[in-house]
């Protein structure tokens, strides 16, 4: 009996995009719940592809993880925590063997968050296995369930389940919004914001000095915690309105306030730290000067790292791309810029 169980194999493949947050998730409560809502769009070129093979077994769960063809044991603690957390939703994860093979379409250490795309792709693939094991399940909203599982792997991953724009965290104007999963808000977004470009200035490659997980923890006793929660809720409402009305100026002002506030929170944490590099600030100055001089819709955001995301409508590519190549490429490590855009399908 045990033999036949052990040779039962199930396979699934899935892909998911990375995303860039405009209103930032920063600080957690409970198990991977955000202290404030966040809003992001998914990126079309920055994808994770994941294949999994599940073999039934009797005692406990064992995992093998391969990243771009090579065993990567350093990721196992994160995967063990993740599978423990979601085993109540996907009971097959209590026993057996799981082989996970993952790869990214974007360069290593480019500053694009790979945990969002990889955890979203993994959650999708795991649900496929569950459906093979128990056809007809899940009978709940499948995307919301995948988003909920992805959140338990990495918070921002819950937004990567959707193409286009996603909202994670409760908001009074969106009844289906939740701290447990993200929702798609594309139907409420003006066409002006469905062709956005994201040109990522890779100011510094390599691992960050302080991980986002530690950064979130430092919000627990942060002196500006309550103020930050208030600000993020207001910015979420204002951003949703700007997205709905197609108002780029309002969008840009929220985008920059959020980016700089995130880094301000890091600089005022205890211990305080900064992830920005001198070139990050130089790039911001050049972007503002060029924008003000030419009166063009262009803004920037920054994740938990030194790299600058320049956000602008596709209609202004012809003016902005040459500016980036001439004035911003010299600020990037090895002159690297990743020209990406919103994923809409
Ligand atoms: C600055 O989702 O990477 O990118 O939940 O600990 O995995 P964990 O954190 P993570 O945090 C992302 C923070 C951010 C802002 C955002 O994407 O909203």
Residue 158 pLDDT level (bands cut at 50, 70, 90): very high
- Number of the ligand 1 atom closest to the C-alpha atom of 216: 6
CA neighbor of 104 nearest in space, from 46, 64, 148: 46
The verdict on the CB of residue 212 being under 6 Å from ligand 1 is: yes
CA distance 51 to 103: 9
Tell me the backbone φ, ψ of residue 166, rounded to 5 degrees.
-135, 145
Percent of residues, the chain, with pLDDT higher than 70: 96
83-129 pLDDT tens trace: 999 999 999 999 999 999 999 998 766 677 789 999 999 999 999 99
Structure-block tokens of residue 266: 């890091």
Mutational test site, ligand 1, from 29, 33, 82, 113, max ligand atoms within 8 Å of CB: 113
Q: What pLDDT sits at residue 183?
A: 98
Q: What is the mean pLDDT of residues 127-132?
A: 94
Q: What pLDDT sits at residue 2?
A: 41
Residue 345 pLDDT level (bands cut at 50, 70, 90): confident
Q: Which spans in the chain are helix H?
A: 2-6, 76-86, 114-133, 142-153, 212-217, 225-245, 248-267, 278-294, 317-323
Buried b (16+ CB within 10 A) or exposed e, 288-310: eebbeeeebbbbbbbbbbbbbbb
* Nearest residue (CA) to ligand 1, atom 12: 156
- Whether 46 has a pLDDT exceeding 90, the answer reads yes
How, if at all, do strands 299-302 and 96-104 pair? unpaired
What's the pTM?
A: 0.96
Q: What pLDDT sits at residue 292?
A: 95
Q: On the CB side of 88, how many CA atoms lie within 13 Å of its CA?
A: 4
The verdict on the CB of residue 258 being under 6 Å from ligand 1 is: no
CA distance 290 to 337: 18
- Number of the ligand 1 atom closest to the C-alpha atom of 303: 1
- Number of the ligand 1 atom closest to the C-alpha atom of 38: 18
- Whether 220 has a pLDDT exceeding 50, the answer reads yes
Percent of residues, the chain, with pLDDT higher than 90: 89
The verdict on the CB of residue 114 being under 6 Å from ligand 1 is: no
Residue 3 pLDDT level (bands cut at 50, 70, 90): very low
Residue 6 pLDDT level (bands cut at 50, 70, 90): low
- Whether 138 has a pLDDT exceeding 70, the answer reads no
- Number of the ligand 1 atom closest to the C-alpha atom of 28: 5
Residue 5 pLDDT level (bands cut at 50, 70, 90): low
The verdict on the CB of residue 303 being under 6 Å from ligand 1 is: yes
CA neighbor of 47 nearest in space, from 160, 208, 193: 160
Helix/strand/coil for 168: strand
240-278 pLDDT tens trace: 999 999 999 999 999 999 999 999 999 999 999 999 999
């Amino acid at each position: 009996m045990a033999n036949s169980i052990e040779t039962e194999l199930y396979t699934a493949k899935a892909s998911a995009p990375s995303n860039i947050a405009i209103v930032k998730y920063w600080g957690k409560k409970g198990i991977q719940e955000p202290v404030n809502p966040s809003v992001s769009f998914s990126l079309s070129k920055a994808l994770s592809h994941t294949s999994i093979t599940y073999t039934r077994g009797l005692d406990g769960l064992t995992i093998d993880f391969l990243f771009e063809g090579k065993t990567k044991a350093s990721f196992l603690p994160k995967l063990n925590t993740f599978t423990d957390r979601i085993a109540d939703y996907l009971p097959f994860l209590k026993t057996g063997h799981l082989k996970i093979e993952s790869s990214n379409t974007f360069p290593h250490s480019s500053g694009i968050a790979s945990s969002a795309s990889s955890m979203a792709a993994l959650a999708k693939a795991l649900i496929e296995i569950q459906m093979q094991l128990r056809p007809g399940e899940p009978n709940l909203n499948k995307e919301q369930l995948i988003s909920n599982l992805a959140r338990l792997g990495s918070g921002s991953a819950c937004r990567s389940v959707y193409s286009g724009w996603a909202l994670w965290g409760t908001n009074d104007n969106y009844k289906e919004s939740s701290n447990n999963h993200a929702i798609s808000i594309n139907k409420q977004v003006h066409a002006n914001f469905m062709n956005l470009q994201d040109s990522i200035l890779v100011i510094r490659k390599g691992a960050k000095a302080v991980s986002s997980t530690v950064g979130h923890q430092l919000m627990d006793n942060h002196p500006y915690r309550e103020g930050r929660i208030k600000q993020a809720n207001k910015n979420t409402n204002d951003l949703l309105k700007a997205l709905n009305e197609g108002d780029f100026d309002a969008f840009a002002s929220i985008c920059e306030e959020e980016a700089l506030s995130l880094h301000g929170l890091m600089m005022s944490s205890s211990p305080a730290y900064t992830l920005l590099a001198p070139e990050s600030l130089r790039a911001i100055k050049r972007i503002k000067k060029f924008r003000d001089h030419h009166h063009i819709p262009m803004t920037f955001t920054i994740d938990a790292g030194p790299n600058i995301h320049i956000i602008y409508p596709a209609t202004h590519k012809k003016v902005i791309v040459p500016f980036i190549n001439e004035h911003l490429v010299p600020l990037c490590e090895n002159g690297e810029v990743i020209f990406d855009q919103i994923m809409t399908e």
